[in-house]
Structure 1
Amino acid sequence: MEGAVLTTLGYVEKDGCYLLIHRTKKKNDINKDKYIGIGGHVEERESPEECMLREAREEAGIELKNLRLRGILTFLIDDLYEMSFLYTADSFEGELIECDEGELVWVKKEEIANLPIWEGDRIFLYLLHTREDVFSLKLTYVKDVLQEVALDGTVLEDWHIWEEEVKGL
Structure 2
Amino acid sequence: MKLNTLCYIESGNNILMLNRNKKKNDENQGKWIGVGGKLEPHESPDDCMIREVKEETGLKLIDYQLRGIITFVLPKWEDEICFLYSATQYEGTLKECNEGELQWIKKEDVFNLPLWQGDTYFLDDLFYLNQFINIKLVYNEQDELVKVCKYT
TM-score normalised according to structure 2 size: 0.95
Of the structure 1 ranges 8-17 and 73-82, higher mean CA displacement relative to structure 2 is found in 73-82
Structure 2 runs not aligned, ≥5 long: none
Deviations 1:75-102 (A, max 9, x none): 0011521000000000100001110000
2:88 counterpart residue number? 90
TM superposition shift of 1:127: 1.5
Structure 1 runs not aligned, ≥5 long: 154-169
Alignment of 1:106-145 (within 5 A): 106-142=104-140, 143-145=142-144
CA distance in 1: counterparts of 2:129 and 2:103, whole angstroms = 25
TM superposition shift of 1:15: 1.8
Bigger radius of gyration among the two:
1
1:37 counterpart residue number? 34
Of the structure 1 ranges 92-101 and 73-82, higher mean CA displacement relative to structure 2 is found in 73-82
How many residue pairs get aligned? The number is 150
CA distance in 1: counterparts of 2:104 and 2:21, whole angstroms = 16
* Cα RMSD, aligned residues only: 1.1
TM-score normalised according to structure 1 size: 0.86
CA distance in 1: counterparts of 2:36 and 2:102, whole angstroms = 12
Where 2:145 maps in the other structure, the secondary structure is: strand
CA distance in 2: counterparts of 1:71 and 1:131, whole angstroms = 12
Runs of 4+ more than 4 Å apart: none
Residue identity opposite 1:150 in structure 2: C
